[in-house]
Amino acid sequence: MSRIVHLALKVEDLERTTQFYREVFGFTEMSTDRVRDHTSRHLSDGAIDLALIQYDAGTQSAESRAAGEGPCIHHFAVEVADLPGAEKRIRALGCEIISDPGVVPVKFRSPGGIVCEIVPQGRYRKPKAKAAPRPKAKRALPRKAARKKKK
């Protein structure tokens, strides 16, 4: 079954926005990458990948303008088992492909105008789970104390 695994926010200040999500919500920074005409920083809450995207000044790519000017929710991603098959179905339904040919993930404008992308399974990493603290065991009473307590 396909599932939403990623949400991307177009931001003006990458560092300030990163600090906010780390300090307020405890999100973990997973990676920061330079991709075509933007810097993409990936954070995670342990279940979903949250990308903060800061485009280069003056960028005019179709992808940078896809969701509008200024800060906004840029797109979300759906993980699929069969990327070529999903792309074929998307094209057959008349959706506009926004990504350059051959680029993965495949971004497209879904019906209603919302930007979405499809990604192969496992594209987004989750932070390693931290071991939950073990509950403290109750200390057993010494035998003498246990006998006295029963009386």
Under CATH, which number does the domain 3-129 receive? 3.10.180.10
76 CA to centre of own chain: 8
CB atoms under 10 Å from CB of 9, counted, come to: 18
Residue 132 corresponds to which tokens in the numbers above?
């939950």
Q: What is the pTM of this model?
A: 0.73
pLDDT in tens, the chain (151 residues): 899 999 999 999 999 999 999 998 999 999 999 999 999 999 999 999 999 999 999 998 888 888 888 899 999 999 999 999 999 999 999 999 999 999 999 999 998 788 999 999 999 877 775 544 555 555 555 555 545 555 5
User: How open is the CA angle 125-131-137, to the nearest 5 degrees?
Assistant: 165
Residues facing 73 on adjacent strands: 9
